[in-house]
Structure 1
């Protein structure tokens, strides 16, 4: 193998690495400027301060808590030792902690799939719409459901006239399993795995908002591609919160509130991200049509 060929390969590898580094830096900068990572935290405080938003959660509290406790306990009893035995070979002493993170992530996935598809779909939909109503965004909500004139933000919600969030996609499960081996890489692999799950989680947080906006698939894709960093940042923080045992169900609702607060800011053009990029999105949407 000639030295020229080796130098060419090394040069190409350095070029690709630089491109990836520059792209990652841009995504991080976009996420930092948008402040999207703060919305899951804002959602917690907003939820606690607005008792009307508690109603959908309280109506499902007992069955979801039972589900959460059952899943987390079962996962630790039946899978902790086998997974620890595998991870200890690659993570060493740190396997005690990385196995816990892995099981919490797995439990979160199972709980979310079961609860959001069979138990919480209507409650989470009401929480998202109710938050928008409480933020004076009733106009956009009226595009997807009937609204009543009196009562608090939840009491004003009437019959849904547009189908709610889509159910769990098999692609999400395939993607989860595909990247699961990353946890064999000590510490860094687990972090990358959570970031990947966060990005996937972030891409779905505004499904209801896009639906209310009547955006086509191409418009949604254009918006998400322009704001990859912000949505990945939101999704990562939301994922970490939903990994907390038992409290994951509570954080599912507060994350929904946070996503609705973000949508309300975008809708009102209060957010710098929206003001700076909305014209570009409109142009892309026109071209797509």
Structure 2
């Protein structure tokens, strides 16, 4: 929270007025609001880079895996870490055998900077900016799930395209919630919980489909 407050305060003190002045030429009376949203977005991005890289990355991985264990997907979690017997889901979490969630990459930062000028377009530009950020944030929320599934890039992309609308919607919610000053650290965890619950539901759907197909084939053979 101290990190989030410090970054947000710094950004508003040193970058809000210059950006609002520039936006006054494109957004008119909406410049104050648009600039505030932009500064919050920039602060959120910086906070995400520092906090998830240096402070809470391991805690988010434990949260994601713990939620999966609570939803009885032990086999999936065991692909990425040791799982102990007994106790509550968090107590069962053992040593990681796979690297944790992906860090914020330079490529993602460059893409973010490229999208920033969209905010100079009144209202519509900001909406498009959030949608584009959400389109990226949705799949990123399931990085750990893809890792546990041992999916390659092609398998991940095929899955993402199958659930494209849902991933974009989830990502937009993630982006908007983590724009809230101070509370963004809290929502980083709740977003992780939501992503893990969704992953557990998807996993159960996959298991059901995989289990149903052999039974149908067996019934067909008996009918013959």
Deviations 1:176-212 (A, max 9, x none): 1111110110011011101101111112111111111
> Which of these residues, 230, 251, 258, is aligned with residue 166 of structure 2?
230
Supply the distance in 2 between the matched residues of 1:80 and 1:127 (Cα, whole angstroms). 35
| Structure 2 gaps, min length 5 | 214-224
Q: Which residue of 2 aligns with 1:90?
A: 26
Q: Which residue of 2 aligns with 1:218?
A: 154
> Which of these residues, 124, 139, 146, is aligned with residue 75 of structure 2?
139
> Which of these residues, 49, 56, 61, is aligned with residue 113 of structure 1?
49
Q: Which residue of 1 aligns with 2:144?
A: 208
Supply the distance in 2 between the matched residues of 1:179 and 1:192 (Cα, whole angstroms). 9
- Corresponding residue SS for 1:269: helix
Equivalences for 1:12-31 in 2 at 5 Å?
none
Root mean square deviation of aligned Cα: 1.5
Supply the distance in 2 between the matched residues of 1:213 and 1:254 (Cα, whole angstroms). 22
Deviations 1:115-162 (A, max 9, x none): 111111101000000011111112210111111112211111000011
- Corresponding residue SS for 1:159: strand
Offset of residue 225 of structure 1: 2.1
By relative contact order (CA 8 Å, sep 6+), the higher-ranking structure is 1
Supply the distance in 1 between the matched residues of 2:88 and 2:43 (Cα, whole angstroms). 34
What TM-score, normalized to structure 2? 0.90
Equivalences for 1:1-289 in 2 at 5 Å?
65-269=1-205
Offset of residue 74 of structure 1: 0.6
What TM-score, normalized to structure 1? 0.70
| Structure 1 gaps, min length 5 | 1-64, 280-289
Supply the distance in 2 between the matched residues of 1:235 and 1:175 (Cα, whole angstroms). 16
Supply the distance in 2 between the matched residues of 1:156 and 1:258 (Cα, whole angstroms). 20
